[in-house]
Amino acid sequence: MFDVLIAGAGPAGSVAATVLARAGARVLVLDRARFPRPKLCGDTVNPGALAVLRALRLAGVTAGGIPIDGMIVTAEPGVRIEVRYDGVQGRALTRSVLDAALVAAASDAGARIEQGVLVQGPLLETSGATPSVSGLVIKGSDGRAVRIPAPIVIAADGRHSRVARALGLSGAPPHPRRWAVGAYFSDVGGLSSCGEMHVRRGHYIGVAPMPGGLANACVVTANRAALGRPAALLLQTLRSDPQLKGRFAAARMVSEPVSLGPLAVDCHVAGAPGLLLAGDAGGFVDPMTGDGLRFAFRGGELAALEAMRALEHGAGDAHVRLLEDRTREFARKWQFNRSLRALVGSPLAVRAAGFGAALAPRLLHHVVSYAGDVQAA
């Protein structure tokens, strides 16, 4: 019998498993993937996210990365501002490396990790006045459903969480709806120790330096029709952009492009009786702010802390307490991200913001520092 079941071995699930296992809980983590596995992401751990890892004694998982000293932001018309983090750094490394290291850390802490296992949904207990989650249902090796009971379940199984969506707890908002396409490139000119965000009317582009001299380039767009040819969309966008075309003229795409979307996921609760949500299962942040990993790390930790409390005192209202924890921790940043999402969705607002940044660059410095969670580092 396990104390806690965790659906999903990504950053939130692995962090939650590590915290729980270190405290002596019997933890089983289930993931349909096998690690290391590719994952579309900006591949940067911002200063605030790195501070969370240090506090958890997990900073070693970023050992294979390279330092990120700040951000370069460009916008129309011809705005370019470089913002250096004040005395702190982030790290850049592929999610395949980061996630595998986090899974290994959870295993080393004593959690049991089962890879290549599909979680089909929650196991429900309906005998009481209020239905509660009492475990998980997985697809067995023979294709049949297998029920695994546990007092507490943490759903950390991503944006399309089978657990959260089975209970109607999360869904994609009607607006804005955007999709991302990304790949790795070699021979990109002008890379530095800064991440980059290039905000344009109708789309934005993220570029990050990676170990080995590579670059992660990602385009986020509302043009769903263009997703049918992801490589063409990515290359055409990069090689037609006034501020990037020269840098990508000789670049070579060294990985298959990956598409993801729709990006944003809204979730206004933190679980249900017996169930706690963590990571993207509890709401997905449009990646333009680059702070999704801090939400994942800290959100996984908060879910683990409430799970431990629930093991001692009962799990009935753990999801209510977790929502309070998450609101205190993230509410201001959630609103900040929603505001940026709305701005990028308006061509007029993007142009106005470009003029504002040119006239008042200090304001953009504050925005970038806040987006990078420098105050939390």
Convert 3-34 into a string of H (helix), E (strand) and C (coil).
CEEEECCCHHHHHHHHHHHHCCCCEEEEECCC
215 and 361, same domain (yes or no): yes
Q: The domain containing residue 164 runs over which residues?
A: 4-38+96-171+264-340
195 and 86 in one domain? yes
Task: State how far the Cα of 154 lies from the Cα of 3, in Å rounded to an integer.
Answer: 11
Give me the number of domains the chain comprises: 2
pLDDT of 264-287, one tens digit each? 777 789 999 999 999 989 887 665
* Of 158-167, 293-302, 363-372, the least confident: 363-372
Check if the beta carbon of residue 154 is closer than 8 Å to that of residue 4.
yes
Task: Round to whole Å and give the CA distance between 199 and 271.
Answer: 34
Give 181's pLDDT tier (boundaries 50, 70, 90). Answer: very high
Per the CB < 8 A criterion, the answer to whether 252 and 183 are in contact is: no
Examine the domain organization and report whether 18 and 159 are in the same domain: yes
pLDDT of residue 101: 98
* Dist. CA 346–CA 37, nearest whole Å: 35
* For residue 213, pLDDT beyond 90: yes
- Extract the tokens encoding 194: 């800064």
Q: Are residues 101 and 238 in the same domain?
A: no
Mean per-residue pLDDT, 61-88? 86
- Asked whether 371 and 291 are in contact (CB, 8 A), the reply is yes
Asked if 328 and 361 sit in the same domain, the reply is no
- Which string of b and e fits 73-111 if b means at least 16 CB within 10 Å? bbbbeebebbbbbeebbbbbbbbebbbbbbbebbbebbb
- Cβ contact 66:115 at 8 Å: no
Per-residue model confidence as pLDDT tens digits over 122-172:
999 887 667 899 999 999 989 999 999 999 999 999 988 999 999 998 877
CATH number of 124's domain: 3.50.50.60
pLDDT for 373: 63
| Closest to 66 in 3D by CA, of 193, 178, 195 | 193
Q: Tell me the mean pLDDT in the region 13-42.
A: 96
**293 and 311 together in one domain:** yes
- The reported pLDDT for the residue numbered 376 is 56
287 and 313 part of one domain? yes
pLDDT-above-70 percentage for the chain: 85
Q: Which residues pair with 11 in a beta bridge?
A: none
Residues 255, 257, 259, 260, CA torsion sign:
positive
d(CA 107, CA 28): 10
The predicted structure's pLDDT at residue 312:
92
CA 5 to chain centre: 21
122 and 247 assigned to the same domain: no
One domain for residues 309 and 191: no
More confident residue, 91 or 331: 91
Strands 179-186 and 152-155: unpaired
My answer on whether 110 and 25 are in the same domain is yes
The pTM is what? 0.90
Model confidence at 288: pLDDT above 60? no
Q: Cβ distance 255 to 184 under 8 Å?
A: yes
Q: What is the DSSP letter of 229?
A: S
Res 94 pLDDT > 60: yes
Please give the Cα distance from 375 to 52 (Å, whole number).
12
Could you tell me if 30 and 102 lie in one domain? Answer: yes
Whole-Å CA distances, 231 to 47, 188, 221, 253, 338: 31, 16, 14, 9, 29
* Residue 52 and residue 18 in contact, taking contact as beta carbons nearer than 8 Å: no
- Rounded to the nearest angstrom, the gap between the alpha carbon of residue 346 and the centroid of all alpha carbons in its chain is 24
Q: Residue 196's domain is classified under what CATH number?
A: 3.30.9.100
* 3-class secondary structure, 138: strand
Same structural domain, 19 and 106: yes
